Each structure stands twice: as C-alpha cells, then as structure tokens.
Amino acid sequence: MTTTAHLATDPATPAVRVQPGIPFRLADIDPSNTEPFSRHKKKLLERQRELRKQLSDYQVNLHAEHRRSLLLVFQAMDTGGKDGTIRVLLTGVNPAGIEVAAFKQPSAEELDHDFLWRIHQHTPGKGRIGVFNRSHYEDVLITRVHGLIQPITWQQHYQDIINFEQLLTRSGTRVIKFFLYISKEEQAKRLQARLDDPKKRWKFEPADLKERSLWDSYQVAYQEALAATSTLDSPWYIIPANSKRARDLAIAEIVVAALADMNPQPPAATFDVAAQVIK
Amino acid sequence: MTTTAHLATDPATPAVRVQPGIPFRLADIDPSNTEPFSRHKKKLLERQRELRKQLSDYQVNLHAEHRRSLLLVFQAMDTGGKDGTIRVLLTGVNPAGIEVAAFKQPSAEELDHDFLWRIHQHTPGKGRIGVFNRSHYEDVLITRVHGLIQPITWQQHYQDIINFEQLLTRSGTRVIKFFLYISKEEQAKRLQARLDDPKKRWKFEPADLKERSLWDSYQVAYQEALAATSTLDSPWYIIPANSKRARDLAIAEIVVAALADMNPQPPAATFDVAAQVIK
C-alpha cells in the first residue's frame, strides 16, 4: 500500500523529490500542479531571468575552480518536453562549459558493450556541466516495457546504476535526475499539435503511437526505477510538466540551489603574485 | 596474523589464486617457484604450442558467437614482464579479435574524469579479447604509494573496482587479473641488463630507481589491493615470474582453461538454410 504522505515536495517548487527506496504511485502526483508558483506570468519570467543569471555565474566559477562537475539527467515520455526544457535552462550559459549528450537507439558497437559504456564516455569533466537527453535509464524503461529484458536484469541494472552514479559522485560530479511528468491527455494534445502543424510534423513518428499504447506499463516502469535509484547524493525529481512555464522554473530553481550548495570558487594563485613582473 | 594455508594454488600451474577478502603476505609466495611444471624445456615448449593453438581456436569461436568477451588485466612492478608476457600469449592469435590497451600516465582530459572513465572506453566488445597493460589498479597502487590519495579513497576505489568488474561480468565479459610477481633481486638483474644492453637501454629511466626504492610500500599496496578485489567471478592470480618460461606457461594454462569453461560456440543459422538458392 502506498500513500503520498512520504513524497517530499520541495518547498520552493511543485517538484517532488523521490525518497530512496520508498515505493510511490505516479498517479498520486498531479502533472498539472504549479503550486506554490505565483500565477503572475510576469513574476515568473522575472524569477526565471534571475535564475538564468545565477546559473551563468555559477558556471564561470565551476569552470575556474576546475575541481567538480554537474550532471543533469532528463527523462520523459514522448512530448514530455526534454528538448524545450534543456534549451530554456541553458539559454545564456556559456556553451563552452556545457556538454549535452542525446542518447538514441544504441549503435551496434554500443550494444557490444555493457549498457553504461556509452554513457560513461559522456560524463562531464571537471569544471563542466553535462546534460543527458535520455540516458542510461532507458535500459530499465524501454527495454523493460518492450519485454527485451527479464526482471532479474533490470534489478541488476538498478544496482549497476547506483554504483555508477556513486562513482561519479565520489569523483566530484553532482548528479541530479529529472523526470518530466505529463498526463496522458497532455501527450494527446501535444501529439495532435505535431500532426496538425506542418512545422512540427517532423517530430511525429507513427511509432510514437505504439509507445503511447504502452503508457501504463511505462508509468509502472518509471515508478519502480525512480524509487529504486533515487539516492540522497543523486536524487530523482518528478517535475509536473503539463505547464511548461512551471516546469522550466522548477528545474531552474533546483539546479541553481544545487550549485549554490556546491558553491564553486575560483582557486587562489599557486605562485607568488608579487614576484611576477610583466616587462 | 596470516598464513599461506588459505592460498589456493592452481593444481596445474605455479600460480596462486587470491581468495576474496582474505589477507595474505606476498612474502609467503616464492617468485621463483616453477612447480609443478616439468624441468624439461622441450615439454614446456610443446605444451605452450598446444595452448597457443587452443587459444587461437577459442578466439575464432568467441568471435563467431558474438555474445561474450574476455578481459585480461596485467599488473607488475617495473621489469615484471608485462610486455613480454602479452607478446608471447597472443602470438598466433588473430590480431583482429584482440584489443591491447596500455594505460600510461593519465592525460589532462582523463584526470578530469573519474578513474574508471578512461578504462571503460577500452573494455572489449562482444566476441573480443581485451588486454590491459597496466589498468585501473594503478589508481590504488602508484597513487597510494606516492601518497597522492588517502586511505578512504583507496578503500572506496576497491569498491568502485568491484562494482565496475561486476558490471562487466554481468554483460558477458569474463575478467581475469594477473600480477606478475618478481623478486627485488630479479628486478635488480633486469634493470642492470637494461642499462648494460644498448638495445634495451631505451626501456630504462632514472625514475625507475625511485620506484624501486618504494618496493616495500608497493608490496603492501599490492597485497591489500589483490585481497580486496579478487572475487569469484573476477579473480586475481599471482604469477611467480622470475622464470619467464614458467610465467608464460602458467598464464596460457589459466587463460585457456577460462575459455574452455566459457566454451564459446558459433551460433546456429537464423534462416532456413535449405531455402537459400545461390543462382
């Protein structure tokens, strides 16, 4: 039996932080929730600008410090808003300090290795912000829903993922994971919009409808994977994402709060500054 | 208190398989041991040829099967024989099925990532045999001996290594690790030979003597690391390596035995063979 009582909602956002190892039901979370954000569009946009400036400043210090890094993982159902979220979040941040990796259908070479092999190659180096558009979590979601793996395999994958993210954490990479959570009705609207708008039609594929027919299986797979792999060091946030504005603001708040906690600082000079003479 | 009683010696070779988690002393192992190998050089060479043929055949089947892989890790003190061992072992095996990765001083980009990042990029794909000349173990050996890391760090690295090798094992990669164990006196002879022989002199660096002065610290670091990271799935073998011939034969025996246990098989045809008409 599950209740929402244990679901931690971040006081400043509509986001839900998943408690390590505690089962929950996605159905208990409202994907249209925008509380406690004000309804005043102007205030939200103002706050978004503030956060963007802070994110940009933190990135400069993270780069100068050259000691730690930040990895943001984004997962969602089709039309959940991964591309848009990443674009809005990173607008105004120096692209040289950022690496966005989009993980598609694995290549033959990638399939020849363990499921974390291709992921590991894209983890951010010191001083950098890495962003994953889809990720290693596809290997406990799509593969599971399509019956390509057995329960024992996804259980082992959970442990492999926890171990892998622990490795990253120990080497100075802060890992934060976002599930952009939309309703099935919202997806219907967005898919229809893609079909109706010739400029968006390229984003639509008939295969999307097959995935949509597996909606309930995906919800179960997400529920379980998030509960199994959310840790204190590397938490999962469920972002109510029917409202794009609330979604973007919630993510910006969480990312900036994490950077504030990391508090990167430019290093002190390692040489005698007074002794340097520029002729 | 440690004894040699728990040290498993492989019946067919002078090698010692390290028992998971059980402390031992390298000093209790004789690096000149060649038993139970016959002293008859001719018989040893004959057996080496047999094993080479078997290894070559297994590699063909491993490639055809395209389902699993083999990773051989070699560690040793300077002059311990890594290059020579690898050359002798792989002579006669199709080079297209083999990837040898030599890990040197990490680059700036590599140092910007966790210590397993650069390693993971070189793990063998399905159907392949990977060979590591030095490895991720340098990060619990050289870094420790030179005081570059704290005890908590190498303890965590042990766990990270076990987790990493478990990930590989789960994805079908058999991992076998060899420590080529020579005596301090043998190293003196081999270093002197490098200095004396103009054709070998390029292998000598004055820094080797600094490393030699840390011999005892390295022995302690090896002892601990091997006991901490030898697992049933992915064992460490200590190879008495003062005798090159016994060393090479022991390794060939162990590698071929592992492949025999894996028993790779070419896959059956997935199409109706009788229906194929070549016009």
Residue-wise pLDDT for A177-211, tens only, equals 999 999 999 999 999 998 888 777 777 888 889 99
* Any B CB within 8 A of A264 CB: no
pLDDT of residue A84: 92
Per-residue model confidence as pLDDT tens digits over B40-82: 888 888 999 999 999 999 999 999 999 999 999 999 999 999 9
- Distance separating the N- and C-terminal Cα atoms of chain A: 75
Q: Identify the top-confidence range among A22-26, A33-37, A275-279, B178-182.
A: B178-182
Q: What is the pLDDT of residue A11?
A: 61
Q: What is the mean pLDDT of residues B127-153?
A: 95
CA distance B104 to B112: 15
Chain B nearest C-alpha distance from A22 (Å): 23
The ipTM of this complex is 0.71
Asked whether A134 and A82 are in contact (CB, 8 A), the reply is yes
Q: Is the link from the previous residue into B151 a cis peptide, with omega within 30 of 0?
A: no
pLDDT at residue A5 is higher than 60: no
Task: Tell whether the model's pLDDT for residue B7 goes beyond 60.
Answer: no
Contact B170 A164 (CB under 8 A): no
Question: Mean pLDDT throughout B1-9?
Answer: 48
Higher pLDDT, B237 or B270: B237
* DSSP for residue A269: P
pLDDT of res. A1 = 34
Q: In whole angstroms, what is the distance from residue A243 CA to residue B144 CA?
A: 52
What are the distances in angstroms from CA A73 to CA A22, A62, B56?
A: 21, 18, 43
- Mean pLDDT value across chain B: 91
- 3-state DSSP assignment of residue A182: coil
Q: Which DSSP string do the residues of B86-149 spell out, in sequence order?
A: HHHHHTTS-GGGEEEEE--SPPHHHHTS-TTHHHHTTSPPTT-EEEEES-GGGGGTHHHHTT-S
8 Å CB contact of A167 and B160? yes
List domains and CATH numbers for chain B: 8-264 (3.40.50.300)
Name the closest residue on chain A to residue B117, using Cα atoms: A120
- Comparing alpha-carbon positions, the chain A residue that sits nearest to B168 is A114
From B119's Cα to the closest Cα of chain A, the distance in A is 10
Q: What band does A10 get if pLDDT is binned at 50, 70 and 90?
A: low
| A163–B167 C-beta distance less than 8 A | yes
**Mean of pLDDT values over A6-23:** 80
pLDDT band for position A2 (cuts 50, 70, 90): very low
pLDDT cut 70: percent of chain A above it: 92
Residues of B in contact with A170 (CB under 8 A): 114, 156, 160
User: What's the rounded mean pLDDT across residues B229-234?
Assistant: 97
Label residue A103 left, alpha or beta by phi (over 0 means left) and psi (-120 to 50 means alpha).
Answer: beta
Q: Is the minimum CB–CB distance between B40 and chain A shorter than 8 Å?
A: no
Backbone CA torsion sign across B189, B193, B194, B200: negative
Interface residue of B113, B154, B170 to substitute, partner A, most A CBs within 10 Å? B113
Q: Which two tokens stand for residue A94?
A: 């120096």
Q: What's this model's pTM, rounded to 2 decimal places?
A: 0.82
Task: Give the integer Cα–Cα distance in Å for B250 and B246.
Answer: 6
Min CA distance, A169 vs chain B (Å)? 9
A50 is written with which tokens?
A: 């503030």
Question: Which is higher by pLDDT, B95 or A166?
Answer: A166
What is the rounded CA–CA span in Å between residue B81 and residue B75?
9
Lowest-confidence pick of A210-219, B40-49, B197-206 = B197-206
Considering only residues A26 and B91, tell me which one the structure prediction assigns the higher pLDDT. Answer: A26
Place of tokens 């943001």: A72
